[in-house]
Structure 1
Amino acid sequence: MATSLSISPSEPLLALLHRSFPSAFPPSTTNAETSEAPSTLTLPSNSVIQGSNTIISHLSPKIFPEVAYTDIENAEITQWLTLSARVVSPSEDANKVADLLKTLNAHLSSRTTLLGVKPSVADLALYSRIAPTVARWTPEQRTGKDGYHHIVRFIDFVQNAPLFGLKLTEAEKVAVDVDNVIFVPKAVDPKEEKDKRKKATAAADGEGKKVAEAGKGKKGKTKEGTSEAKEATKDAAASANPTGPKREKKEKAPKPPKAPAKEAALSPSLIDLRVGHILKAINHPNADSLYVSTIACGDPPGKDGTSEHEGQTVRTVCSGLNGLIPLSEMQNRKVVVVCNLKPVTMRGVKSSAMVLAASPRPVEGEADDGHKGPVELVTPPAEAKAGERVFFEGWKGEPEGQLNPKKKVWETLQPGFTTTEEREVGFDGAAVAAQLAGDREGSSAAAAP
């Protein structure tokens, strides 16, 4: 006997999954005639499984066949399936539902998915069950000071991310206005937290330090007396032997000045190019042409210019791509990032890196205006991980910690960045040499009488 499934009209979750992952369901899947009839999965052994949570747990390996879960993660999936059912249960107390939503929101504040980064059927169940509720929330409930910011972000992520592969029409999706953010929670800065802890420790040690200094004063007085006695003894010895030989002091040879640090040869390897993972991007609150992206670049926790977002060390990056690239294309994607430029504040937001994008070269005679478009983001290989180094073949060397703005390394090398006919990024050293030659000629002409 083949496996068969009957889906109850009262359980839209299974209907959504059947539409999105038809190959994960038995070929003989049917719809139950009445909503009162429960969903049932009949196995070849004639054993029957009822209830959407149990059924989708059974189908999970076919829905996400490439994802492996530990025993602990499987237990978490079961817990979240139960919680998502409780949130929408008519018999659940309203106060308990509010507590469950707060728990869920706090959990998602440091995670992309319920398990952290792995997709699971628990994410799909939670989305299907609470999306209608989120759709009815007011702007204050969504993004107010006490709103469920992280639940809204999660809903928008699940319904749009290819990671989950849900088959939804635009009309079925929850409308999320990324511009309508009433309250923006401050990201936790590891450096600030470290400084606070240092100050607290210093304040707690204040009294002990005073006691130590008092003892130090007494000890110093004793040393002073001892020193005076030694000097007196030395003077007496000198008087007793006035004709003793005197040692001549040798003049010390002056130390040779330190050789200046050898300046690194001009090369694109000086630029710290890395794979970055945009976790989210929003419109800049004070500039229509800018996006503000939260990007994981493989930095260690606590590094200057970084903060923490959803359990990852990230950089805040402003980019002038608003109006050139849709905001939807700036979400949850890999990009190439310049990571050793000096941080700059752009209209009130500190930017600690730069996203690379490409546009066609201007036709001869036209002004070089890269903001005319079209513009495309530079995309690394799909298997590349955030933080991996990006380099040009044939150009060896290590990137500098931070490029000196006065030396204009980036400005000098940037004209050499180009694309091939195969739409791959390359570096043209001749273009840089030509620009440098042109600059020298211009300087000579300007200096001529």
Structure 2
Amino acid sequence: MNVDHLTTDILLQVVSEYVKKQLSLTINKITPFYADTAMTSQQAASAVLSMENGTTIEGTVSIAKYLLHQAGCTNLLGKTDCAAIEIVDWTNIFMTTTCMALKHDRKTALSQLNTLFSNRIFTVGTTLSLADLALFSVLYNTPFRISERFEIPNVFRHYDLIQHLVLAWKLESPLKLVEFDLNVPLVKPMVIAETSGKSTVKAATESTESAEKGSKSKSKDQSSAEHATTSEKTAIKAAKKASKADKTSAATPVSTNSALPDLSKLDIRIGTIVSVKRHPDAETLYVEEIDLGEATARVVVSGLVKYMSESALENRKVVVLCNLKPAKMRGIESQAMVLATTSSDGATVELLEPPAGSQNGDVCFFDGHKGTPEKQLNPKRKVWESIQPNFLTDTEFQAVYTTPDESKKVCVLKSDRGVCKVQSVAGGLIK
């Protein structure tokens, strides 16, 4: 096999060398892979694998999948069909969308990745996959700043884990190791003492050395501030300012619901799929046209090929999240998202079903949270991302949001005609 045009492809370097080392798969020619810049989606698509029989395979992801399949390395491609689909989808997203986003708006792209890995170690499931290697390859030449370690700790953690797993393979061409300083500076908690209506700030730090020697903190604010670090000085000033504000305004009780997401911001409506066809460039995706009672039907891209036939989707009424920011999926802009739930084992996917008698354009809302949705959700505020982890089906197969606070209040998704439900999946995450 000959692999050409791969000078910027870290992913194929890792995959091909892993395959050669572990299973002795013969690959005649591997051109250098090291890159000075992150690869573009055009470069990812231009990668070509030429085989001895004259046939070729194009595209980084397709080549990586082929090599792993040929070598029997299915552990990196998913243990179940559902996991395999999700791994390929994430791999494509990282190699194209994420790669371009890092070039155009690095801070936002890294922030979104940080949110993605806030509750997961690996991209899919509990083991290393091709998707993790893809993200590693995209970030390989991204310069990390020391100041970012507390802003995007989940990205740092994931990258550090994957780079050490790859380095443990002891590949023929060793990759550079990025050293992360994971030590958190020791800062003594600030204490605000209230005396006779006046606030005094007792905030001082003791270095490890002084703590060991049993040194005593100075009692006056001025002495403390003189020896405090920059962060402590800022904390002292902020506390004093807050204390001063307390004198001029009455204290306002903090609502227990203040940190809860505003469910009324989601624009969820009923629609009918009037057309469905396979995505021309993605074997796991459908391209649907959905009538939502608007002047024109919306184009929606969904990863439902594995679970439902085209005939099962056509003319079907669905529940649709309409105010996400449009996003391109393999070259086609998706203007909304069809809501569905997945069973805990990942084997079953069911679409949310509207109440009987629903009409296109009917508005859905969470019980007790009827309001005016935003025209388009601001991705930076992460409204949907804060709601989605607690949006599941209950034991009666109803779509419900359960508040993450102590009350655990259940809010059913409904329209004026009734409740939105699924056929048989209980406890399934809705997305």
Structure with max Cα Rg: 1
Q: TM-score range by the shorter chain?
A: 0.3 to 0.5
Give TM-score, length-normalised by structure 1.
0.33
User: Which one has the bigger helix percentage?
Assistant: 1
* Structure with more of its chain in strand, by fraction: 2
Q: Provide the TM-score with structure 2 as the length reference.
A: 0.35
